[in-house]
Structure 1
């Protein structure tokens, strides 16, 4: 049996602010921004090169979580210094690169609501 993780809900207080942050500052591709009903909005964005997207939503009870409650989503990059510099250049407040040994490196950031993300570089074999 194959299973693919393809969508992760990210809880935010202001969809427009989060959409701007993820699309303009972090560089995610905007897949769609739809309003299937008068009280429902769904915004889907995908990190470059990823098969998994994030969804920002309102009016969907099944996806309701406190804004800013998501922790530690990882974005795997080939060159953490380059990725960190690119994000910082777009105005994303980045943490320092930490080397945990064995060539595994991390650098964190958070969105305007406090959801946390980690860039991760793993040595190629």
Structure 2
């Protein structure tokens, strides 16, 4: 049997702002943007070359979801983005205006730099 995580939900305040950040600043691919109703869309983005796991950008619906924006993991790092060239991608993100919360550092498991999306994640 093979199983994979197909998508991880990220609650955002606005679909189009989130799509713009993840595609234009991070270079993710827009996999799908399907309107489900007047208020809801099914929006999937993923890093280039990602074959299985997608990020589902879900617009907050109600006060509880709005309150979770930017703190969906209780202050822990939300996503770990692996790359085949850390320095290239870090520079590209800096050039695109991505906010980094710290300078790159080396850990036993690899090079690390923590960035933030415009919504606090």
TM-score above 0.5 = yes
- 1:95-106 equivalences under 5 Å are 95-101=102-108, 104-106=110-112
Structure 1: segments with no counterpart, 5+ residues: 116-125
Structure 2: segments with no counterpart, 5+ residues: none
- Residue 54 in 1 paired to residue 60 in 2? no
Equivalent position of 2:6 in the other structure: 6
CA distance in 1, matches of 2:50, 2:83: 11
- 1:1-125 equivalences under 5 Å are 1-51=1-51, 52-58=53-59, 64=65, 66-70=68-72, 71-94=77-100, 95-101=102-108, 104-115=110-121
Three-state SS of the structure 2 residue aligned to 1:73 is: coil
CA distance in 2, matches of 1:80, 1:58: 30
> Which deviations, in whole Å up to 9, do the C-alpha atoms of 1:63-106 show, x marking residues without a partner?
x57211233310111221111001111111223111124x6210
CA distance in 2, matches of 1:59, 1:112: 15
Three-state SS of the structure 2 residue aligned to 1:17 is: helix
Is the contact between residue 39 and residue 59 of structure 1 (CA under 8 Å) also seen in structure 2?
no
CA RMSD of aligned residues (A): 2.1
Per the TM alignment, residue 58 of structure 1 is displaced from its structure 2 partner at its CA by 3.4
What is the TM-score when the length of structure 2 is the normalising length? 0.80
Indicate the larger mover: 92-101 or 14-23. Answer: 92-101
Q: How many positions carry a matched residue from both structures?
A: 112
Is the contact between residue 70 and residue 119 of structure 2 (CA under 8 Å) also seen in structure 1?
yes
- Larger relative strand fraction: 1
What is the TM-score when the length of structure 1 is the normalising length? 0.78
CA distance in 2, matches of 1:37, 1:59: 14
